[in-house]
Amino acid sequence: MHKLVENIFGWSYPLFKKLDFGETLSAYLSLAINIVVLTLIAYIIFTVFRYVLVRALIIIARRTKTRFDNFLVSNKTAKYISHLIPLLFVYKSVPIILQNFVYWEDIFGKLIAIYIVLLSLWIIKTILHAFRDHLKTNPSFSDKPIDSYIQVIMIILWIFGFIVIVSKIFDISTNAMLGTFGAVSAIIILIFRDTILGFVASVQVSLNDMVRIGDWITFDKFGADGDVVEINLATVKVRNFDNTTTTIPTYSLISDSFRNWRGMLDSRGRRIKRHILIKAQGIRFLKETELEELKRIQLITKYIDVRQSEINKFNTSHDIDKSLLINGRNMTNFGLFRKYITQYLSQHPGLNKDMILLCRQLQPTPQGIPLEIYAFSNDKRFENYEYIMADIFDHIFAAIPYFDLEIYEMPSGKNDFVN
């Protein structure tokens, strides 16, 4: 290539000198002609290669099954490569065109070299972005923090490019620059502290499968409650359910506690865990007449019959004095109500019967006795889940008076007067 460049630009100066224009004038005339020729050739090379490369890549992308070349087209990789080819030609031509202008040859040579380094880094960036976009179309990589890895690679390349540029500007060898770079590594670590922490965190998050793109997470410290839409080197973006966006430092995912709801979404049901408070003073033993009345509730008719038979048999065999209800074994309105709720839950179409399903009594509190429903809904979607839970508790609230029980409510402090 060097010989070709000499043949293209080396003829003008000897020609003008032979025509007795003098050395200075010959040099300037030769420079002017060579700049025009160089500009024209560079433009032709750029136009030809841009057309050929862009068209060729588009044709290849249309005829191949892989989508990687499609992303090369969308990221304009061929266009930037077509800029690089004429630039290399100009870089090789500068020493010959400016051979009589040593000072300017050094300056323009360095400027073009710097531009080549920056353009090369930009081309690599477009290729990496195409590779990233291609991986994101693969379900196996769609939830991985690919952006973080691309950013790390680009940071390393930019550091290397910076070293090359500085070595070109000050005419220092690359090895010497690397040695100097090692000496100031402590300062670099301080400057890129968040980036380094983010990289380490993103690797740990990926290896431990802590967070994926699309996961629903709750992070109270940052007020985040929504879906993860992006995982970068330094930040994780969460689109909250109110359509706001929360940005969380990546390293906070391993340094602080947060909740990932992926396990629930991947399971067969979404948990319902809610309790109501029953007034303790309303809990009592049931009389025979009351039991007969409650047998009309179909869900517990059979249970009352079986249970009453067992209790009567026990009391009779032990000669229990039933003149007082407290003697022997008895059924209570609260216990029967718990059984009713259990039967009701077992027949509810919105609950998963293959998972835990129970109605349990918790530790008594000053406000009453908590009665907790612990079950799992079939439908995990937020609005349907809330509807199922509301439907269950609507029924519970309406059923409580049938068992002569009351729900605890805080006194309002307002007296109701009846005229």
Per-residue model confidence (pLDDT) at position 1: 56
C-alpha span between 279 and 285 (Å, rounded): 15
Q: Are strands 270-278 and 224-231 parallel, antiparallel or unpaired?
A: unpaired
**Quick one: which H or E segment has residue 413?**
none
Q: Which of 273, 282, 268 is nearest to 393 (CA)?
A: 273
Closest CA to 108 of 31, 43, 46: 31
* Highest mean pLDDT pick, 57-61, 103-107, 400-404, 410-414: 400-404
Compute the mean pLDDT over every residue in the chain, rounded to the nearest whole number. 82
Phi/psi at 232 (5° precision): -105, -175
For residues 304 and 388, give the distance between their C-alpha atoms in angstroms, rounded to a whole number.
28
The model's pLDDT over 217-233, given as tens digits with 9 standing for 90+, comes to 999 889 899 999 988 77
How many residues in the chain? 419
Q: Given this model, what pLDDT does residue 26 score? A: 62
Residue 190, pLDDT above cutoff 80: no
State the average pLDDT over residues 135-163.
77
Q: How far apart are CA 51 and CA 63, in angstroms?
A: 18
174 has pLDDT over 70: no
What tens digit of pLDDT does each residue of 201-213 get?
A: 777 777 677 888 8
pLDDT score for 417:
45
Question: What pLDDT is stored for residue 6 in this prediction?
Answer: 58
Enumerate long-range contacts of 91-96, CB under 8 Å, 24 or more apart: 91/116, 92/1, 92/2, 92/5, 93/5, 93/8, 93/9, 93/34, 93/38, 96/5, 96/6, 96/9, 96/10, 96/34
